[in-house]
Chains A and B, each alone.
Chain A
Amino acid sequence: NAGVMQNPRHLVRRRGQEARLRCSPMKGHSHVYWYRQLPEEGLKFMVYLQKENIIDESGMPKERFSAEFPKEGPSILRIQQVVRGDSAAYFCASSRDSPLAVHEQFFGPGTRLTVL
């Protein structure tokens, strides 16, 4: 059973370009979470999605960032018009059930975004 997969593992973009980060959850998992980790900082929650629904996006910046988890295919975190401050590691996690059902989250290896 493959774990959470993220691609690309490393992404370099110039300021003003778009970044698309992909996450395929573990088989059988319908809950996806995105986190951002800045250097020397902890993981910061960004967004929680179920298939075709955004459940909680309270950690997402209001502008330039969006996320989706379509019925078919991976979850996508999209950052438009990237700036240097967007440089970070972006982790995706998945769980079988809602967090309130008390299940651990399984994390992917992360995508390291560098904005030049």
Chain B
Amino acid sequence: SQKIEQNSEALNIQEGKTATLTCNYTNYSPAYLQWYRQDPGRGPVFLLLIRENEKEKRKERLKVTFDTTLKQSLFHITASQPADSATYLCALLTSNTGKLIFGQGTTLQVKP
């Protein structure tokens, strides 16, 4: 069956450290993968997109990797800050459906 999985347990890290979040998928062939941030009571906000033929993408303190062999994407936040505390969602677009499939999200808590 098709699955997209993110760590369900919250990730707690100290300010200044690098946070690494994982997104694994099975039985999908995604055209691209996106990462979103969601704060409590709000809609998701787009952060980064990486295509199937790209290995890595960076934007300021954010970095995303995409390994189609391992069927995994890693999302890194360097020099993390308490303001980075939120839930982070990965989403796949599969080339044959045209719709986004979301993981359940991982909650990040950055402690000062």
A residues with a Cβ closer than 8 A to B are 4, 33, 35, 41-45, 48, 55-56, 58-59, 91, 93, 98-100, 102, 104-110
Count A-B contacts at CB 8 Å.
60
List 20 additional A-B contacts (Cβ < 8 Å) besides A43-B89, A100-B95: A33-B99, A35-B102, A42-B89, A42-B102, A42-B104, A43-B44, A43-B102, A45-B101, A45-B102, A48-B99, A55-B98, A58-B97, A99-B93, A100-B98, A102-B51, A105-B100, A107-B36, A109-B43, A110-B42, A110-B43
Decide if B98 touches A98 in the complex (CB within 8 Å): yes
Known: A41-B104, A56-B97. A91 touches B32 (CB 8 A): no
Contacts of A91 in B (CB 8 A): 43-44
Selected A-B contacts with CB under 8 Å, 29 pairs: A33-B100, A42-B89, A42-B102, A42-B103, A43-B44, A43-B102, A44-B102, A45-B101, A55-B98, A56-B99, A58-B97, A91-B43, A91-B44, A99-B93, A99-B98, A99-B99, A100-B95, A102-B31, A102-B32, A104-B34, A104-B49, A105-B100, A106-B46, A107-B43, A107-B45, A108-B43, A109-B43, A110-B41, A110-B43
